[in-house]
Amino acid sequence: MSSLGTPDPHPGWLSEEDLTHVRHRLPLLYVEAIPVRQAEDGTVSEVGMLLRADAGGTFKRTIVSGRVLYAETVRAALLRHLEKDLGPMAFPRLPACPTPFTVAEYFPLPGLGRFSDERQHAVSLVFVVPVTGRCDPRQDALELTWLSPAEAVSAPVTDELEGGRGALIRMAMAHVGALD
């Protein structure tokens, strides 16, 4: 039997208390996007890195990332997080069938895997997403820096990335053939 009325516009949102409860009991599904600019021949010419401040005031480089909400498609989640982090004029180009180039598993305890997130166990579908428009970081992102693929995989940059995401950048650039 269906109920009548206006559906909740954000049915996938949890309160902070509920989210903390769930994070300590279940792995959560995330999408992550590495924004890139492409040359005319389709090769990756630049990689976008976000700068954020954590709760302790430490600045960290990161990529577009966020949860997939209940009843939300992966495509919709990707577009929502790209717009949230890069602004509405970024114009991301998603393929007809978005397929991640890798799956990253984040663990709350060090040593369980390559990636870590002290808050939770999370499984993330990771995409390389070309953007063609103007990017204006929003929400908690302080800036977006465009780097060449070589700069993006350099130790000084990958060491700044949180949770082991430097390995994701190296994997992404290898996947798109942007490493020498």
90-125 pLDDT tens trace: 999 998 999 999 999 999 987 888 999 988 899 999
Environment class of 55 (CB within 10 Å of its CB; exposed 0-12, middle 13-18, buried 19+): exposed
In the chain, the N- to C-terminal Cα span, in Å, equals: 59
Contact assessment for residue 117 and residue 163, using Cβ atoms and an 8 Å cutoff: yes
Q: Using one digit for the tens of pLDDT, what is the confidence trace for 50-71?
A: 998 877 888 889 999 999 998 9
Domain boundaries, the chain: 26-175
DSSP per residue, 89-123: TS-B---SS---SEEEEEESSTTSSSEE-TT--EE
**132 token code pair:** 């063609």
CA distance 116 to 118: 6
CA distance 99 to 131: 17
Q: Can you give the pLDDT at residue 1?
A: 40
CA 146, 151, 155: angle at the middle one, nearest 5? 125
Q: Using one digit for the tens of pLDDT, what is the confidence trace for 18-32?
A: 766 666 767 899 999
Across 76-85, 103-112, 148-157, 170-179, least confident range? 103-112
H or E stretch at 150: helix 149-152
pTM: 0.85
The CATH architecture one would assign to domain 26-175 is Alpha-Beta Complex (3.90)
Contact assessment for residue 36 and residue 48, using Cβ atoms and an 8 Å cutoff: yes
